[in-house]
Chain A
Amino acid sequence: MSAQGRLGPGELLQPAEVADRFFSRGWTDGLPVMPPTEGAVAATLGAGGFGFDQVLGSVPERSRTVTAGKVAVNAVMAGCLPEYFPVVVAAVRAALEPRFNLHAVSSSTGGAAVLILVSGPLAERIGMNSGANAFGPGNRANATIGRTMRLVQMNVLGSEPGLMDASTLGHPGKYTFCIAEAPPPSPWVSLREELGYGPEQTAVLVFPGDSPLKVANQGAATPSAILDTALAALRSPSNYNTGHDSNTGGQAVLVICPEHAESIRDAGWTKDDVRAYVYERSAVPRSSMRAAGRDSKGDGTDLLASLAGPDDLVLVTAGGYGGRWSMLVPAWARRATATFSHAPVAT
């Protein structure tokens, strides 16, 4: 069927046929999709004032150019409402920055997911969840914005499982991995302000995330005790970056639950204090790597890096009250391979 006079290439289908047809072609993540009709895609593009052929970026290693139109098609399929689209576009733009290395993030056997952190007032206006069960199900914006990223990787960049997505196992975050930042306890500044944006702006940070690790500390109220538990996760020899042969370390996201954040804040610690404390204690002895069955070559020293530097720890507040559980998301690869990236949301 010719696309002449149409918004873009496609075909005539009955809406009820779409899910099965798309699934059989490998165009979905395995879950049913919404039909990307011209009307729905046009409404999605219109929410951000984007043109169908507007180029958002490219992945030269794959000879792929990413247009707003194709991202919108995948956003509709994922179930996004049009008002989510500016956030989706910011996330895609950030992921297309060369330093994020989206080609490698999308193809490695390590099986990374693109973690999306949204910081700013738009997140609340579109109903994103930064509270209880932020990483869990039940919120349309979180679920579908994150899902769109995966569908874009599959459909626009060609990351077919087993082919250009060579993940050995992957992890559940590859379906969707997106939360909003909860307002940090005063006087801590928000993630977007730490990235250089204004408090009234909304910004998106994307992170090449391995599977998350729980930071379970119900009893301690001191910053050092809470952060020592986070360090135990960061320094785990099972993390790829910990004790890597290059001894250069990687990045990580520490999602701090509200009660942990308030305890640390109440002790007078700033977010920079948190980063400094964690970084200064982040190296691991070679003996602990050997005890875990990993004999890193390193550079001959007895201490091996897990975190590349203090600014390589992203701090974001999220989660509900009633449980003192935070979360650490290690980077899929060391900093020399890929780093987090961010972009403002156009409003």
Chain B
Amino acid sequence: MTSRRDQSVWILSPREEEVPQPPTLFAQRPDHLSGLDVVLLGNAKLNVDVVLRELGRRLVDDYGVGSVTYLEKEVAGKPADRALLAIVRARAGAVLTGVGD
């Protein structure tokens, strides 16, 4: 009789593991928001402007943010393009994004 072990075969894994990436350097978080120029980057989803504009109002009223700029990606399903990110980089002391609907 053939043993259970003898009937085993090498079964290949269907999974592709995530390729380790170099550590990402996150932007330094500000200690406070007072007087900062804040960019709100919308993700082009429905009502994102409503949510972010209200958030912007509260940042100014409650946290002393210096100015709020509202920008929006062209397409929700794609990353923000380099030109938009360059504008963000030039204007922003802090950025808020990631809103969906």
Contact present for A11 and B16 (CB under 8 Å):
no
Tell me the nearest residue of chain B to A9, going by C-beta.
B13
On chain B, the residues within 8 Å of A37 by CB distance are 9-12
Q: Nearest Cβ distance between residue B12 and chain A, in whole angstroms? A: 4
Q: Is B28 an interface residue (CB 8 A)?
A: no
* Partner-binding segment picked from B29-37, B51-59, B74-82: B74-82
Are B14's CB and A151's CB within 8 A? yes
Q: How far does the alpha carbon of A64 sit from the alpha carbon of B11 in the complex, in Å?
A: 22
Question: Is there a chain B Cβ closer than 8 Å to A6's Cβ?
Answer: yes
Is A9 touching B12 in the complex (CB atoms < 8 A)?
yes
Q: Assess the A12–B19 pair: CB atoms within 8 A.
A: no
With A101-B77, A338-B77 known to touch, is A18 a contact of B11 (CB < 8 Å)?
A: yes
B2 to chain A, nearest CB (A): 11
Bits for A1-20, please: 1 = Cβ < 8 Å to B, else 0: 00000111111111100100
B10 touches A64 (CB 8 A): no
A262 within 8 A of B: no
Tell me whether B77 and A70 are in contact (CB under 8 A).
Answer: no
Q: With A63-B21, A104-B77 given, is the CB distance from A70 to B14 under 8 Å?
A: yes
Alpha-carbon distance A38/B10, docked complex (angstroms): 6
| A108 contacts across to B, CB distance below 8 A | 77
CB distance from A64 to the nearest CB of B (A): 6
State in angstroms the CA–CA spacing of A77 and B15 once bound together.
Answer: 12
Interface size for chain A: under 10, 10 to 19, 20 to 34, or 35 or more residues? 35 or more
Q: Given A15-B9, A108-B77, do A65 and B19 touch, yes or no (CB 8 Å)?
A: yes
* Cβ < 8 Å to B, chain A residues 86-109: 101, 104, 108
Measured CB to CB, the closest approach of chain B to A311, in angstroms, equals 20
List B contacts of A69 (CB < 8 A). Answer: 12
B74 x A64 contact (CB < 8 A): no
Q: Does A302 contact B (CB under 8 A)?
A: no
- Distance to closest chain B CB from A178 (angstroms): 19
B75–A337 CB distance below 8 A? yes
Contact between A10 and B78, CB atoms less than 8 A apart? no
CB neighbours of A336 from chain B (8 A) = 74-75
For the complex with contacts A73-B13, A155-B14, A337-B76, 8 further pairs of A-B residues with Cβ separation under 8 Å are A13-B9, A15-B9, A27-B14, A61-B79, A157-B16, A245-B46, A334-B75, A337-B78
Interface residues of A (CB under 8 A from B): 6-15, 18, 22, 27, 35-38, 41, 61-67, 69-70, 73-74, 77, 101, 104, 108, 151, 155-158, 245, 333-334, 336-338
- Using a CB–CB distance below 8 Å, which chain B residues touch chain A? 4, 7-16, 18-19, 21, 46, 74-79
